[in-house]
Amino acid sequence: MSNLSLMWQSFPLLLKGFLITLEIAVMVATMGIFLGTLVGLGRTSGKGWLSGTLRVYVEVMRGTPLYTQLLLVCFGLPVALDIQFDTFTAAVLTMGVNSSAYVSEIIRAGIQSIDKGQMEAARSMGMSHSQAMLYVILPQAIKRVIPPLLNEIIALIKESSLIGALALVELTRTAQLIASRTYRPFPAYLGAALIYLVTVLVLSQFTAWLERRLRASD
Amino acid sequence: MIKINGLHKRFGKLEVLQGIDLHVKPGEVVVVIGPSGSGKSTLLRCINRLEEPTEGEIVIAGEPVPAGGKGLDEVRAELGMVFQRFNLFPHKTALENVTLGPAKVRKMTPPQADALGRALLEKVGLADKADAYPAHLSGGQQQRVAIARALAMQPKAMLFDEPTSALDPELVGEVLEVMKQLAREGMTMMVVTHEMGFAREVAHRIIFMDQGKVMEEGPPEQFFAAPKEERTRTFLRKVL
pLDDT in tens, B162-207: 999 999 999 999 999 999 999 999 999 999 999 999 999 999 999 9
Question: Between chains, do B83 and A126 touch, taking CB under 8 Å as contact?
Answer: no
Which pLDDT value is given to residue A217?
Answer: 61
Q: Which amino acid is at B231?
A: R
Question: Between chains, do B48 and A124 touch, taking CB under 8 Å as contact?
Answer: yes
- pLDDT confidence bin for A218, thresholds 50/70/90: low
* Chain A contact probe: residue of B91, B156, B190 with most A CBs at under 10 A: B91
pLDDT over threshold 80, residue A132: yes
Which pLDDT value is given to residue A166?
Answer: 81
Using alpha carbons, list the distances in angstroms from residue B198 to A105, B32, B125, B168, B206.
Answer: 47, 11, 20, 16, 11
d(CA A68, CA A85): 18
DSSP string covering A37-100: HHHHHHHTSS-HHHHHHHHHHHHHHHHS-HHHHHHIIIIIHHHHHT----HHHHHHHHHHHHHH
| Whether pTM exceeds 0.90 | no
Residue B90 contacts A, CB cutoff 8 Å: yes
d(CA B134, CA B40): 27
Q: How far is CA A8 from the centre of its chain?
A: 29
CB A22 within 8 A of CB A171: no
Which pLDDT value is given to residue A216?
Answer: 65
Question: Between chains, do A126 and B105 touch, taking CB under 8 Å as contact?
Answer: yes
* Chain B contact probe: residue of A119, A123, A124, A128 with most B CBs at under 10 A: A124
Residue B147 contacts A, CB cutoff 8 Å: no
d(CA A169, CA A175): 9
Spell out which residues of chain A touch residue B78, defining contact as CB-CB under 8 Å. Answer: 126
CB A84 within 8 A of CB A13: no
Dihedral over Cα of B45, B48, B51, B53: its sign: positive
pLDDT in tens, A75-115: 899 889 988 888 888 999 999 999 999 999 999 999 999 99
pLDDT in tens, A54-81: 999 999 999 999 999 999 998 899 889 9
Q: Which residues of chain B have pLDDT under 70?
A: none
Residue A182 contacts B, CB cutoff 8 Å: no
What residue in A sits closest to B102 (Cα-Cα)? A125
Question: Between chains, do A127 and B85 touch, taking CB under 8 Å as contact?
Answer: no
B17/A169: higher pLDDT: B17
**At what angle are helices A116-124 and B139-151 packed, to 10 degrees?**
30
Determine the distance in angstroms separating the CA of B214 from the nearest CA of chain A, rounded to an integer.
25
Question: Residue B129 gets which letter from DSSP?
Answer: G
Nearest to A125 among B90, B91, B101 (CB): B101
Burial of B221 (0-12, 13-18, 19+ CB in 10 A): exposed
